Structure 1
């Protein structure tokens, strides 16, 4: 997503890269910090002895199966809320706007986080269940609206960098979430306050997000133009770009937005349901939607969210003993994943493409999982506990971190990139909503299944995740074309190629030949004949500046 060299689509005034556009993106990306934190802290929080004792969840009061059922409910209520929140985010963002939609999601999240703090031994887990559902609704809506908003207000040359802040924010939140419980066990006496602090910390990113929106975020000019509020759109764009209304660059951008909005109305139609009819009524778009949203099934099939939500269980199965040791090991996992995400964002995704790194991630990750499964099968740490980790266990942990590296530089953020770039602008808000909903749906499935998988399958859990990564390889090879360097206007041409493996090379050669045939002249590159006799042409964005 992020390049090391700024490549502009046209001569751009230096004022465009001002603090205002960065502040809008950073505040919006704060939503990802609360998403990452909430995904990471809960597994280690419910494993704290202080939490178990207060809510009578120790081995002396309930069975392992009962604890698995309760922990599954605590974790999965959040994903259920996220799923419905992602769906709700579309009408909220369309009707109330991106800014008010983000503010609503922040307030709902803070309300849910606050409700969780009412839980104690006498009240039971009810406030945690209810609070996590509400927090999930807020997070689901934010996961839909944040990338959309950032992409709409970003200058083209730094759009990848600014959208990349969303993924970085997610990893920063996750890193804090993985370490928070290690910190409280080391410095806070065991008791109510010890487990309550990680729950209360949710309010920090949520509060920053909610308070920052009114002061730093300006409503998306693109959304304002779609609502007929042109003067307000120009005013906001002037502030975001740091330019006056009569600047040639700003006039050109407003004209481009006008053209795109009118094009979407002509191609897709007007009304709330028009994009849905376009996506579900045309097979080529619906097929593309199925392939792209299925990437989140394969992403969760790597085992990432089993580890995010149940890391103490994961490390216990390998032979890691002791609460502090398990929490420390989880923290190291978070550090490696964050560093890997930064490398992916700055050095890999825009340089090595999408499909290739998914394949490398699947092969490397599968090897790591198979090695861990083999060690657990042979050593059986659960029935042969040791006070220190044996050499075989050290090897298994090393391969676990190898798996983490391969995941972080491949499947971690790439499905989001693919889903954001392969659909026409007129339907992208709907496809983004469905992509976010697919992510949370598979999160929910994994969060519900993981405890039962470990109790019944043992080392077979790692075989399952390894096999899922192997099965993802033919899916990517035969169904997912490489999208690197393909203009957004040419995605239909790419996906219409029957030779999926070489589609990128074929389309790039065609574009080069067309450019050489009529050098310097505008050309119409995209011809969509998928709807019978209707033909729609879109001018390549690379030619608009010519």
Structure 2
């Protein structure tokens, strides 16, 4: 049985000073997450905004025609196509100029894009398309740069929480977008203001992102990578809230520096050297890249993007009637996602773990959609003479249960996991590919969902259920647990011959044994004061109660 006192336990690969868990690292995560507010806001507002009758009338589009449906689909999907290229283009920028400069550039483009879209009030679609492309480029870059940055600055025991802050920003924007549409439908008089206001609100998250990107410190790991050691140590000490001569800092600085230098010697410092390492010289990284890319593709075929962008239509199909009712249900959909994101960050990602959450969540998602598909096959409430009844109420409940289950693992979890499992010198390269791949299924689903709903009807839910069911064995056999393990030790999780379901335990046992051996070595060198500074952190650790997996409550 899970004890209440262990809910906030941190899994540490070695004893960690409490000063490391400080407001500076959490504040950095909060500022960086402003990038994802823009992503979430687009998800929340665009579906209802672009189908608003006054938006359509402004551009001479007639509701419920093939031309209009295609135009709206193009407006939505051009954003995702741009995001694909934005993720890839962010790599050379971050490689040469660092994470911070790349984020500043992305934020500036987003702000311009949000402003350009307001030019559509004149009745021309060109500014809307151009603005969507600009913001899409930014969003694609942010899905790469932000998670890489957060993974590089965070301590191992809370790395999942820090990276998952990206998900909080996403859900905040998502929630605001949904409820702005609902509030406008209730309180803003009919006219162009009903779509101009939500389009203009984009400037707020874009502006926050732009200002916040100037405040953030550059990644210490990237600074070590480009031989700016003094600045790297200064930034790392600030984020850890410890002086550079502290034993823990001596260990972390040496570990990062040695790892980066070894990887640089092996891989090389050039822009294309990581590509050669992944695809030519060391194919183990290519296999790992396939797994991480699949982790970002799978959830987008489990239904989340279809429901995000077409929630009013989907809720109407399962029996929610009336425009206001469907908008309200869509808004509540956003509330559930927001609440569950906090539950995931506080209780699951660094405590319960990534791997178990993935499998349990996928199982629950599959069951929910099997029910929804079966219900609509037996009693479709949109057909004449059919009444939703108790089965329809249950269908709506299952929709919200699916939402909660999905958010508690598959929404932010794949970004956390994929950003952790690669070495420093190839991380930005592979994460650019991962981020780009995550936008491919989003583009596909936003283009096809409306057609799938019309043609497949209940079958679309069976499709989502099948994908979720297949995700369970995929995770069990291929995805190792990463919680509590230092980035420099991730490679050990993929040791040949060690199954994914045993890898985490073996790495943690090895780390535990290493620290115990280091403690023994320190005791044997008590008469040699010259070696004390290098191993001071071991002596400090010896004072603490060390459990087998170093669990701190």
Give the TM-score normalised by structure 1. Answer: 0.87
User: Relative to structure 1, is the Cα distance of residues 507 and 347 closer, same or farther in structure 2, using a 3 angstrom cutoff?
Assistant: same
Could you say which residue in structure 2 is the equivalent of 1:206? 206
Could you say which residue in structure 2 is the equivalent of 1:217? 216
Equivalent pair of 2:259/2:488 in contact (CA under 8 Å)? no
Could you say which residue in structure 1 is the equivalent of 2:448? 449
Question: Per the alignment, in what secondary structure is the counterpart of residue 442 of structure 2?
Answer: helix
Question: Per the alignment, in what secondary structure is the counterpart of residue 319 of structure 1?
Answer: coil
Q: Is 1:74 the counterpart of 2:69 in the alignment?
A: no
Name the CA distance, whole Å, in 2 between partners of 1:178 and 1:42: 9
Name the CA distance, whole Å, in 2 between partners of 1:70 and 1:223: 42
Question: Per the alignment, in what secondary structure is the counterpart of residue 33 of structure 2?
Answer: helix
Q: Which deviations, in whole Å up to 9, do the C-alpha atoms of 1:468-494 show, x marking residues without a partner? A: 112223322333334445554554443
Name the CA distance, whole Å, in 2 between partners of 1:453 and 1:138: 29
Could you say which residue in structure 1 is the equivalent of 2:476? 477
Could you say which residue in structure 2 is the equivalent of 1:85? 86
Could you say which residue in structure 2 is the equivalent of 1:271? 270
Of stretches 201-210 and 318-327 in structure 1, the one that deviates more from structure 2 is 318-327
Could you say which residue in structure 2 is the equivalent of 1:534? none
Could you say which residue in structure 2 is the equivalent of 1:38? 42
Give the TM-score normalised by structure 2. Answer: 0.86
Shift of 1:261: 2.1
Name the CA distance, whole Å, in 1 between partners of 2:327 and 2:146: 31
Q: Is 1:302 the counterpart of 2:302 in the alignment?
A: yes
Name the CA distance, whole Å, in 1 between partners of 2:314 and 2:443: 18
Shift of 1:290: 0.6
Name the CA distance, whole Å, in 1 between partners of 2:427 and 2:437: 15
Shift of 1:164: 2.5
- For 1:125-136, list aligned pairs within 5 A: 125-136=125-136
Shift of 1:400: 0.7
Shift of 1:198: 0.9
Could you say which residue in structure 1 is the equivalent of 2:57? 53
Name the CA distance, whole Å, in 2 between partners of 1:452 and 1:55: 23
- For 1:86-485, list aligned pairs within 5 A: 86-120=87-121, 122-123=123-124, 125-214=125-214, 216-237=215-236, 239-241=238-240, 253-281=252-280, 282-384=282-384, 390-484=389-483
User: Relative to structure 1, is the Cα distance of residues 329 and 82 closer, same or farther in structure 2, using a 3 angstrom cutoff?
Assistant: same
Equivalent pair of 1:267/1:426 in contact (CA under 8 Å)? no
Could you say which residue in structure 1 is the equivalent of 2:548? none
Q: Which deviations, in whole Å up to 9, do the C-alpha atoms of 1:291-310 show, x marking residues without a partner? A: 22112221111100001111
Name the CA distance, whole Å, in 1 between partners of 2:487 and 2:244: 28
User: Relative to structure 1, is the Cα distance of residues 515 and 343 closer, same or farther in structure 2, using a 3 angstrom cutoff?
Assistant: same
User: Relative to structure 1, is the Cα distance of residues 207 and 543 closer, same or farther in structure 2, using a 3 angstrom cutoff?
Assistant: same
Name the CA distance, whole Å, in 1 between partners of 2:79 and 2:520: 53
Of stretches 18-27 and 85-94 in structure 1, the one that deviates more from structure 2 is 18-27
Shift of 1:162: 2.6
Question: Per the alignment, in what secondary structure is the counterpart of residue 136 of structure 1?
Answer: helix
Question: Per the alignment, in what secondary structure is the counterpart of residue 111 of structure 1?
Answer: helix
Name the CA distance, whole Å, in 1 between partners of 2:143 and 2:453: 29
Shift of 1:185: 0.9
Shift of 1:499: 6.0
User: Relative to structure 1, is the Cα distance of residues 544 and 321 closer, same or farther in structure 2, using a 3 angstrom cutoff?
Assistant: farther
Name the CA distance, whole Å, in 1 between partners of 2:286 and 2:375: 43
Of stretches 232-241 and 42-51 in structure 1, the one that deviates more from structure 2 is 232-241
Q: Which deviations, in whole Å up to 9, do the C-alpha atoms of 1:9-34 show, x marking residues without a partner? A: 456474x5554444333211111111
User: Relative to structure 1, is the Cα distance of residues 519 and 268 closer, same or farther in structure 2, using a 3 angstrom cutoff?
Assistant: same
Shift of 1:150: 2.3
Shift of 1:227: 2.3
Question: Per the alignment, in what secondary structure is the counterpart of residue 286 of structure 2?
Answer: helix
Shift of 1:209: 1.5
Equivalent pair of 1:370/1:463 in contact (CA under 8 Å)? yes
Equivalent pair of 1:336/1:404 in contact (CA under 8 Å)? yes
Equivalent pair of 1:480/1:500 in contact (CA under 8 Å)? no
User: Relative to structure 1, is the Cα distance of residues 233 and 435 closer, same or farther in structure 2, using a 3 angstrom cutoff?
Assistant: same
Question: Per the alignment, in what secondary structure is the counterpart of residue 97 of structure 1?
Answer: helix
Larger helix percent: 2
Equivalent pair of 2:103/2:142 in contact (CA under 8 Å)? yes
Equivalent pair of 2:372/2:395 in contact (CA under 8 Å)? yes
User: Relative to structure 1, is the Cα distance of residues 174 and 385 closer, same or farther in structure 2, using a 3 angstrom cutoff?
Assistant: farther
Name the CA distance, whole Å, in 1 between partners of 2:520 and 2:23: 36
Equivalent pair of 2:156/2:483 in contact (CA under 8 Å)? no
How many residues of Structure 1 are paired with residues of Structure 2 in the alignment? 520
Structure 1, unmatched stretches of 5+, are 523-541
